[in-house]
Amino acid sequence: MLKHVAEIFALILAAICLVGFAGIYGYELYKGAKLFKKPGGLDRTQATAGDPNDIKDPYSYVVTILTGLVGAVVAIFFGEPASRSAILPMSDWKSGLLVAYGVIYLVVGIAGVVEWIFPQRFCPSILVKTLALTFLGLVAPVVTTFFQST
């Protein structure tokens, strides 16, 4: 019974982390897109990280931790050998949440990269730049492993 309750709490915490990651980066990407729509936007030569007063330390620390956590879960997802997965069956909730982590990280990561390298007079948040670099850092070993295993 106690193990079952612990699993439910862990599932809730994992879902909260994923929602927090998606919400924070969704907001950061939205802010960047909104800046892009303004006439003139922000000039990359005048600013390097959007509005410096916009991002407070606790916010950036939480975002950094969530990025690392979600990236680590996705890395585990891609690094898990098929034979071990068959030995340790996952519940439907756990496997569904793992797929959601992968999909959300992929969508948010690609959006972050696109927003970061967009060639217009536009400067995204430093958090978006960090996400883009972290995402690209994870993509390299995942793609390499894929081609080594085939």
The predicted pLDDT at position 104 comes to: 93
The pLDDT assigned to 22 comes to 93
Domains: count for the chain = 1
pTM exceeds 0.75: no
* pLDDT, tens digit, 9 for 90 and up, residues 124-136: 678 888 888 889 9
Note down pLDDT in tens along the chain; length 150 residues: 788 888 888 888 999 999 999 998 998 888 877 765 555 554 444 444 445 555 667 778 888 888 888 888 888 777 765 445 444 456 777 888 888 998 999 999 999 888 888 755 555 678 888 888 889 988 888 888 778 776
H/E/C letters for each residue in the chain?
Answer: CHHHHHHHHHHHHHHHHHHHHHHHHHHHHHHHHHHHHCCCCCCCCCCCCCCCCCCCHHHHHHHHHHHHHHHHHHHHHHHCCHHHHHHCCCCHHHHHHHHHHHHHHHHHHHHHHHHHHCCCCCCCCHHHHHHHHHHHHHHHHHHHHHHHHC
Which residue range forms the structural domain that includes residue 78? 2-149
